[in-house]
Structure 1
Amino acid sequence: MDHYQTLGLNRSANREEIKEAFRKSALKFHPDKHSHSSDDARNEASLRFKRASEAYQVLIDERKRADYDLRLRSAGFPRWSGKGPQSSSSSSSSSSSGYYRPPRAPASEFDPGIVFRWLMRRRTLIELAVAGALLGAYIVMEDSLEKVWKRNNAGKSFEETIESIKGGKSHKDSSK
């Protein structure tokens, strides 16, 4: 279902145009207006009202609309352009119809745009910041532990240090 086509809008419609198109659609298909119609007409009007409401909720919210537009483009939605809905029976030649259809990369080709969009999501940025903070804390702790080790065991080899630790334990055990 194309939300733009549902409301009879072009892809570059602004908020006021979306509101006006929804208002007209809501007045035309509201279930209360069709309460005395046949069951089929009432069901059809109810369905079209629900679709118009869903389209309005998506298109009026900037984030939802951007996500919806991105999904349309990445799915290769037919007739994608800023010029509005067209019937599928119109000319398929993009040069004669005035439609821009972005080139689609083969499925096996790497698309850096997808990776960039994933990296720029708020959740991904937060996760990267937390991972960076944890890594930084680990590096600081490791460096601090190494400095403490060197200060307490200056001039000793590793084997001498281990022997002194063992000697310390045996000394404690014998004093108890």
Structure 2
Amino acid sequence: MADHYRALGVTNNASKDEIKEAFRKLAIQFHPDKHVQSSKSARDSATLKFKQVSEAYEVLTDDRKRAAYNLSRYNNKYNGGNFYSNTGYAYNNNYNANYYHRGGSYRRPPRSSSDANRFVSNLDAIFRFMSTRTFLLNIAFAGIILGGTVAIDMSGEALWKMQNPGKSFEEAMKSIEKNKEREDEQ
């Protein structure tokens, strides 16, 4: 993986203004139009360097891309991509499965951030989905329907009490059933 910070010659905690200034200087220095009269190898080298600097600028000035880039750099630096692959680390089942053996001593493996990364990635996807316009419109529509249902139910009870003071709905239903039975008997 290309080191975008090194390509621009800035530190990991450089501000956007520092990144922009470094890019501007390097873009002027390596722009292909400036090397039209140069030899083919110098022109190709400058073009390649300009592409690297442009990619670094694009990634480091976008907050989301920069965060993803920093996270992938961290994973590659500390986990070697896949910590438990064929990198010389092996479990010693006789000692303890929570430790690994390397260089004659037993050590606890560093915590893998892949679970945390997967959780953050899933959480980010959920938040992105929940902030889409369609989702928000559907939630608003469901809220309106639910609110309408509650309002109708409450107004139905209020209307019943206004028209039938002192009588509950259940009592009214029982008296209707009794009247039907009397009519059927006759």
Match of 1:73 in 2: 71
| Rg larger for | 2
Match of 1:38 in 2: 39
CA distance in 2, matches of 1:129, 1:4: 38
2:51 match: secondary structure? helix
Give the share of equivalent positions with the same residue, in percent.
32
Which structure's residues are more often strand, by fraction? 2
**What are the equivalent positions in structure 2 for 1:19-168 lying under 5 Å apart?**
19-59=20-60, 61=61, 64-74=62-72, 76-78=75-77, 103-106=111-114, 111-121=118-128, 124-126=130-132, 129-146=136-153, 155-156=172-173
Match of 1:7 in 2: 8
| 1:76-120 deviation per Cα after TM superposition (whole angstroms, max 9, x unaligned) | 2437xxxxxxxxxxxxxxxxxxxxxx953355x785433443454
CA distance in 1, matches of 2:125, 2:28: 40
Superposition RMSD on alpha carbons, in Å? 3.9
Q: Please tell me whether the aligned partners of residues 32 and 43 of structure 2 are also in contact (alpha carbons under 8 angstroms).
A: yes
CA distance in 2, matches of 1:143, 1:16: 54
2:34 match: secondary structure? helix
CA distance in 2, matches of 1:5, 1:103: 28
- Alignment length (residue pairs): 134
Q: Please tell me whether the aligned partners of residues 59 and 65 of structure 2 are also in contact (alpha carbons under 8 angstroms).
A: no
Q: CA deviation at 1:146?
A: 4.3
CA distance in 2, matches of 1:147, 1:66: 48
Question: Which runs of no fewer than 5 residues in structure 2 stay unpaired?
Answer: 79-109, 161-168, 178-186
2:77 match: secondary structure? coil
TM-score of the superposed pair, with normalisation by structure 2: 0.52
Q: Please tell me whether the aligned partners of residues 30 and 49 of structure 2 are also in contact (alpha carbons under 8 angstroms).
A: yes
CA distance in 2, matches of 1:144, 1:16: 55
TM-score of the superposed pair, with normalisation by structure 1: 0.54
